[in-house]
């Protein structure tokens, strides 16, 4: 392995000349973070694909295959993920080459797994934009869109909703109504109707994803792989037709893959997500339902449950029709789900919730006794 001084010198010249690494998102911030590893003679690279025990890493000299045996922590949220920046053995240092460390992530897109172990799963790392792909071949599921948006906001990325297969809605008025429906559940989010067949909306989305790193998200059959091919400008992903009856498709994408876009920026395509479980996403839920949180600030009681409390501003909005009942129910559902998940992973909070349940139960029994005239 080279000496610290020579490796640092070679790293400086590399940093100034490596267009390939910069195309994958390298910048001065990452260079500063990598400096200690450069002193050890390691080389930087971005993880473009992860398989079991190995990954493909884009370095200044091209794509290399590296072993991840030294970066496999027990915490599933810290495993190597597509989008990570890694410190890799230089060429000739070992066979196979190893990922020796991953740089701290700026952002991370995580969800809870479908297992009963209450574990999180990292879908993509160091993401700037999250494109949530929703197919217009089937009826809109606003609740699912809200769920994706909560995860996106929580990750630190800026979400955009793409209504794919817009050519299936030939009536422009009908399409505008669908866009408006999604905009009502996506405050602060751009909604783009798009057709990979006709090219409608592709220029708008290309401008959104130019620069930075974008992750494509959505259920199977939403058209993510077709959209990825359109953005990259070539067939980098296999595509299969979705069923007309429910819009579901097979998992044409089975791993998370990272591509450099011809217009600048980086794209990460992900497998279709059948389950979109929240993972410690209270802040994200609050951003999705910002109008409810703003109303709640005007409630008489700071811990108002927005049910039957006097002076509840949320209840007033429900009564006058300015806040849809479905919206409040979805907000409550996601908050409860997130609280249950956090409780499973936080013993202290679990104890506090249990005490609160017992207190409310005691108050309920006391009120019942008062109504029956049996209070002592």
Whether the predicted pLDDT of 244 surpasses 60: no
Q: What is the DSSP letter of 166?
A: G
| pTM, rounded to two decimals | 0.79
Whether residues 171 and 286 fall in one domain: no
Under 8 Å CB-to-CB from 312, ≥6 apart: which residues?
299, 300, 304, 306
In a domain, 315, yes or no: yes
Average pLDDT score over residue span 339-367: 66
The CATH code of the domain that includes 239 is 3.40.50.300
Over residues 56-86, the pLDDT tens digits come to 999 999 999 999 999 887 777 788 999 999 9
Given 87, 102, 117, the domain boundary residue is: 102
Choose among 134, 270, 154: nearest CA to 214.
270
Q: Provide the pLDDT for residue 339.
A: 82
In a domain, 342, yes or no: yes
In a domain, 113, yes or no: no
Whether the predicted pLDDT of 321 surpasses 60: yes
104 CA to centre of own chain: 17
Choose among 142, 145, 123, 120: nearest CA to 132.
145
The CATH code of the domain that includes 326 is 1.10.40.50
Over residues 30-52, the pLDDT tens digits come to 999 999 999 999 999 999 999 98
Q: Provide the pLDDT for residue 308.
A: 80
Given 269, 301, 320, the domain boundary residue is: 269
Range of the domain at 24: 4-102
Ramachandran angles phi, psi of 9, nearest 5°: -65, -45
Whether the predicted pLDDT of 348 surpasses 60: no
Number of domains in the chain: 3
In a domain, 349, yes or no: yes
Identify the top-confidence range among 9-13, 121-125, 159-163, 227-231: 159-163
For residue 213, name the pLDDT band (cuts at 50, 70, 90).
Answer: very high
Whether residues 234 and 135 fall in one domain: yes
Region of poorest pLDDT, from 11-25, 215-229, 309-323? 11-25
Structure tokens, 308: 């039957």
Average pLDDT score over residue span 246-250: 46
Over residues 112-148, the pLDDT tens digits come to 765 455 567 788 999 999 999 999 999 999 999 999 9
Given 207, 237, 269, the domain boundary residue is: 269
Identify the top-confidence range among 6-10, 184-188, 344-348: 184-188
More confidently predicted of 287 and 4: 287
Q: Provide the pLDDT for residue 368.
A: 64
Whether residues 142 and 258 fall in one domain: yes
Whether residues 131 and 211 fall in one domain: yes
Whether residues 177 and 80 fall in one domain: no
């Amino acid at each position: 392995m080279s000496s610290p001084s020579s490796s640092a010198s070679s790293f400086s010249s590399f940093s100034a000349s490596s267009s390939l690494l910069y195309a994958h998102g390298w910048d001065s911030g990452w260079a500063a973070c990598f400096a200690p590893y450069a002193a050890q003679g390691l080389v930087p690279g971005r993880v473009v694909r992860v398989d079991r025990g190995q990954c493909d890493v884009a370095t200044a000299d091209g794509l290399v295959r590296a072993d991840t045996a030294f970066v496999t922590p027990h915490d599933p949220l810290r495993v190597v993920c597509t989008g990570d920046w890694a410190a890799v053995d230089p060429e000739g240092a070992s066979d196979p080459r190893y990922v020796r460390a991953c740089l701290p992530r700026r952002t991370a897109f995580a969800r809870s797994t479908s297992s009963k172990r209450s574990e999180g799963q990292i879908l993509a790392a160091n993401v700037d934009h999250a494109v949530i792909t929703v197919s217009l071949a089937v009826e809109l599921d606003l609740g699912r869109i809200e769920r994706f948006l909560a995860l996106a906001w929580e990750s630190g990325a800026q979400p955009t909703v793409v209504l794919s297969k817009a050519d299936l809605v030939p009536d422009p008025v009908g399409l505008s109504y669908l866009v408006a429906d999604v905009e009502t559940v996506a405050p602060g989010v751009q909604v783009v109707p798009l057709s990979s067949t006709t090219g409608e909306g592709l220029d708008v989305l290309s401008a959104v994803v130019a620069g930075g790193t974008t992750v494509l998200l959505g259920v199977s059959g939403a058209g993510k792989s077709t959209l990825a091919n359109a953005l990259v400008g070539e067939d980098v992903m296999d595509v299969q037709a979705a069923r007309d009856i429910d819009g579901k498709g097979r998992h044409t994408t089975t791993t998370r893959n990272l591509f450099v876009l011809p217009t600048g920026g980086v794209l990460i395509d992900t497998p279709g997500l059948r389950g979109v479980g929240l993972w410690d996403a209270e802040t994200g839920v609050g951003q999705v339902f910002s109008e409810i949180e703003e109303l709640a600030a005007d409630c008489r009681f700071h811990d108002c449950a927005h049910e039957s409390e006097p002076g509840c501003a949320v209840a007033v909005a429900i009564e006058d029709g300015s806040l849809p009942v479905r919206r409040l129910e979805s907000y409550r559902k996601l908050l409860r789900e997130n609280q249950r998940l956090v409780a499973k992973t936080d013993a202290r909070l679990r104890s506090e919730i249990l005490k609160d349940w017992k207190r409310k139960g005691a108050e309920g029994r006391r009120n019942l006794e008062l109504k029956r005239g049996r209070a002592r």
